[in-house]
Amino acid sequence: MIRARITGTGSYMPEQIRTNFDIEKMVDTTNDWIVARTGIEERRIAAEGEYTSDMATRAAERALEMAGVSASEIDLIVLGTITGDYPWPATACIVQQNLGANNAYAYDISAACTGFVYALGCANDFIQSGRGKKVLVIGAETLSRIIDWTDRNTCVLFGDGAGAVLLEASEDGDAGLLSSHMHSDGSYFDLLYQPGFGTRIMLSAENYDNRSNYLKMQGNEVFKVAVRSLTSVSLEALEANGLSASDVSLFIPHQANKRILEATAKRIKLNDDQVYINVHKYGNTSGATIPVAMDEANRAGMLNAGDIILLSAFGGGFTWGSALIRW
Ligand code: ACO
C-alpha cells in the first residue's frame, strides 16, 4: 500500500515581535485580558516588503533541506492560505518559481484556518492515487495585513508565519498518513470572513471607509462551533483507525486560542502532556499554525518513529478537518 510519509518539516516566523503590551498602546485592552481570554502573549508581524510567498518559500526550503530532497524532484505544491500575495494567481506558483521547482504544478487552497489540513488531505489523495511521489504542503499567512488594528475584538488574536512539510510516497512499513477527514458548512460563512475586496464588495471609496477589507468575526459563536467541530473531527479520526485517546502521542491542533484547545482536549479526554501548544508565542496564524507547531515539535525531538500524531483544525467557511499520522 502506498502511504504519504512526512520526511521533512520547516517553518519561518518573521523577526518582529508584537507583544500584548504593544497592543495596549493601540486599542483599549490589557495584557491580562488577552492572556486570560486567549493565552496569547505575543505574535510575529511580517516586515515591510516581506510577503506570504517569501515566508512560505523559507519554510519550504527548510523542509526540503531536512528531507534531503531537491526542488526539481517535487511533483506538486499545495499552499493553504487566505492572505496570498495577490488575489490571483496562486501564491503557490510564486513559491514554485522561488524554489525553482520546475517539474511541479502548484495551487492554493482557501480554507482559512483549516487550509493546511485540507492541503494535506489533497496531497495524501494525490500520493495514494499514484499520480506523484513528492509533495510540498505549506500553510502561510500574513494576517497582520487583513486585521483591523483599531478593532480590539480581533486584532489581539492573529499573527504572521509559515510552516511546510514534505510528503513522500512510501511502500515500506506502516508509517505515514493513516487518514484525513474534511468538512465544511457554508451556512456560517459570515461569522468569520473578509467581506472586501472581492467581486461582490469591490474596492470603492465607500467600502474602503467602511473598513470592509478587514477580517470580521463573531468571536463567541466561532468559539462554540470551533470546540464542537474540533472535538467531533478528532474523534472521527480516532474511530476511523480503531484508536482511542490514550493511543495519541501528540495532538497538534490549530492554535486559535488556548481556551479552545483546552476545552477540545478535555472533551477528547487527552492529558495536558499529549497536547502541543505554542499559541502564546505566535497567536493564531491561521493555515500556518499546525505546520509551524509540527516543525517545532519535530526539531525538539518530540515526534518519534511509531508515534500517533493527531492534527485537527477549524476555521472560516466554516471548515474543519483532521489528519492522523503514524510517524
Ligand atoms: N480587550 C478587552 N476587552 C475586550 C477585548 C479586548 N481585546 N475584546 C473584547 N472585549 C470585551 C467585549 O467588548 C465584551 O465587553 P462587554 O461585555 O462590555 O460587551 C467582553 O470583552 C466580553 O467579550 P466576549 O466576546 O464575550 O469575550 P469572549 O470571552 O468570548 O472572548 C474571544 C473573546 C477571545 C474573541 C473569544 O470569543 C474567542 O477566542 N473566539 C474564537 C475566535 C477565534 O479563535 N477565531 C479565530 C478563527 S477561527 C479559529 O481559528 C478557531
Give the span between the Cα atoms of 67 and 48, in whole angstroms.
31
Among 147, 173, 199, give the residue marking a domain's end. Answer: 173
211 lies in the same domain as 127: no
169 lies in the same domain as 182: no
* Residues 176/325, Cβ–Cβ less than 8 Å: yes
Among 117, 149, 173, give the residue marking a domain's end. Answer: 173
42 lies in the same domain as 126: yes
> What distance in angstroms lies between residue 35's CA and the mean position of ligand 1's atoms?
12
Q: Give the closest residue (by CA) to ligand 1 atom 13.
A: 153
CA distances 209 to 152, 174, 212, 282, Å, are 18, 55, 8, 30
Residue 172 above 90 pLDDT? no
Average pLDDT over residues 2-24: 98
- Report the Cα 140 to chain-centroid distance in Å: 7
Tens of pLDDT along 227-257? 999 999 999 999 999 999 999 999 999 999 9
162 lies in the same domain as 105: yes
Give the pLDDT band of residue 114 (cuts 50, 70, 90). very high
Average pLDDT over residues 218-227: 96
Residue 240 lies in domain: 177-326
Average pLDDT over residues 194-218: 97
Angle at 35 between CA 30 and CA 37, to 5 degrees: 95
65 lies in the same domain as 185: no
Pocket lining: 220 vs ligand 1, CB cutoff 6 Å: yes
152 lies in the same domain as 8: yes
21 lies in the same domain as 126: yes
- Report the Cα 269 to chain-centroid distance in Å: 23
Q: Quick check: is 102 catalytic?
A: no
124 lies in the same domain as 7: yes
Pocket test for ligand 1, best of 223, 292, 318, 322 (most atoms within 8 A of CB): 223
> What distance in angstroms lies between residue 148's CA and the mean position of ligand 1's atoms?
15
Residue 224 above 90 pLDDT? yes
CATH number for position 300: 3.40.47.10
The catalytically annotated residue of 122, 124, 254, 298 is 254
Give the span between the Cα atoms of 225 and 246, in whole angstroms.
25
| Residue corresponding to grid cell 509551524 | 292
Tens of pLDDT along 22-34? 999 999 999 999 9
Q: What is residue 195's three-state secondary structure?
A: coil
- Report the Cα 21 to chain-centroid distance in Å: 26
* Residues 294/9, Cβ–Cβ less than 8 Å: yes
194 lies in the same domain as 169: no
pLDDT of residue 199: 96
Among 120, 146, 173, give the residue marking a domain's end. Answer: 173
Residue 137 above 90 pLDDT? yes
* Residues 244/238, Cβ–Cβ less than 8 Å: yes
- Predicted structure pTM score: 0.97
Residue 318 above 90 pLDDT? yes
Percent of the chain at pLDDT exceeding 70: 100
pLDDT of residue 129: 97
Pocket lining: 223 vs ligand 1, CB cutoff 6 Å: yes
Q: Give the closest residue (by CA) to ligand 1 atom 31.
A: 37
Pocket lining: 188 vs ligand 1, CB cutoff 6 Å: no
Q: How many domains does the chain have?
A: 2
Pocket lining: 284 vs ligand 1, CB cutoff 6 Å: yes
The catalytically annotated residue of 20, 93, 113, 181 is 113
Pocket lining: 197 vs ligand 1, CB cutoff 6 Å: no
Pocket lining: 217 vs ligand 1, CB cutoff 6 Å: yes
117 lies in the same domain as 99: yes
266 lies in the same domain as 209: yes
The radius of gyration of the chain from alpha carbons, rounded to an integer in Å, stands at 19
Give the span between the Cα atoms of 61 and 242, in whole angstroms.
36
181 lies in the same domain as 165: no
| Residue corresponding to grid cell 497538534 | 252
* Residues 120/311, Cβ–Cβ less than 8 Å: yes
Average pLDDT over residues 123-137: 98
Nearest to 8 by CA among 63, 60, 62, 56: 63
Percent of the chain at pLDDT exceeding 90: 99
Tens of pLDDT along 52-62? 999 999 999 99
DSSP state of 70: -
Average pLDDT over residues 172-184: 96
Tens of pLDDT along 258-270? 999 999 999 999 9
Rounded to whole angstroms, the maximal C-alpha distance in the chain is 59
